[in-house]
Structure 1
């Protein structure tokens, strides 16, 4: 694995900080974007369409994905390292969002918008830190590339499909209306 120069590390670190800030700004926008669009189904593919836990993963996932794509084309980093770092971070943030929500709401029997917002921001920052650390890791990326590629496409497919075809389990059910997926 090629050694990464200090200058490249500094540039990457700067972009990861910028990415965390941008995603933290865009997350609330993606929460309301579907509503603001008048219920446009195309917008609903990328933005939350209801108050289910699953739909809330999209408010971080897609801004993170869009920024990562832009970051790749701007920085032109090593593709394998970059994909491993980003796929792992995306998978981690989604897993932690769902786990944290069910853990704290189950423990306390209540939900808190403030806790959800703060934790979303904290997780976003952690995801970009993890991405940075993984990218700089000296371990060979060859053995992790295929699992990262599978993870990337599996999560992308789920994020794209489960709004239109949600499984009928609580993770996908709107906590306000009881609806699954797109509002009727």
Structure 2
């Protein structure tokens, strides 16, 4: 059972990193499609980079629930927490390293993305294996967190607040809307 979980978490990590990388370019490749905008990065803002981790992780979670629900009934709560941690690590690590170093670098941005994905799946594995967060209330809360984040990532792509995390540092625009 432990090996099966390790394989699932490793597969999820690899799919999340690969799909997140492809989603970085999907909006541009689609010619600016609004459907693509909902699920891919529309600019270089920190928020849109958080979405690159969240979207593949969310959809992989749906698949994982189908196959692992009976073995790991705590999956919704655990994934809700690990997703929050992984996506929150992106701005924390990005703003920390750019604050210390004084500038950003593409290799470091990639490392932040990969480390955040790894942290999400490592936390996921640890909590699932130990059977943590198993109450029915926490399962409901996990589902609400995941669907709430999905809504937020899509909504704020089209209607972003004028906060630094949503601003494209290259164009100084927010979301797909112009200033």
* TM-score, with structure 1 as normaliser: 0.88
Give the gaps of 5 or more residues in structure 1.
Answer: 1-7
Quick check: 1:72 aligned with 2:65? yes
Quick check: 1:46 aligned with 2:39? yes
* TM-score, with structure 2 as normaliser: 0.91
- In structure 1, C-alpha distance between the alignment counterparts of 2:30 and 2:109, rounded to whole Å: 24
Give the gaps of 5 or more residues in structure 2.
Answer: none
Quick check: 1:81 aligned with 2:74? yes
Partner of 1:154: 148
- Alpha-carbon RMSD: 1.7
- In structure 2, C-alpha distance between the alignment counterparts of 1:93 and 1:122, rounded to whole Å: 8
Partner of 2:5: 12
Partner of 1:95: 88
Contact 2:158 2:177 in 1 (8 A): no
Contact 1:84 1:134 in 2 (8 A): no
Contact 2:159 2:177 in 1 (8 A): no
Quick check: 1:163 aligned with 2:178? no
- In structure 2, C-alpha distance between the alignment counterparts of 1:51 and 1:138, rounded to whole Å: 38
Aligned length: 177
SS of the equivalent of 2:158 reads coil
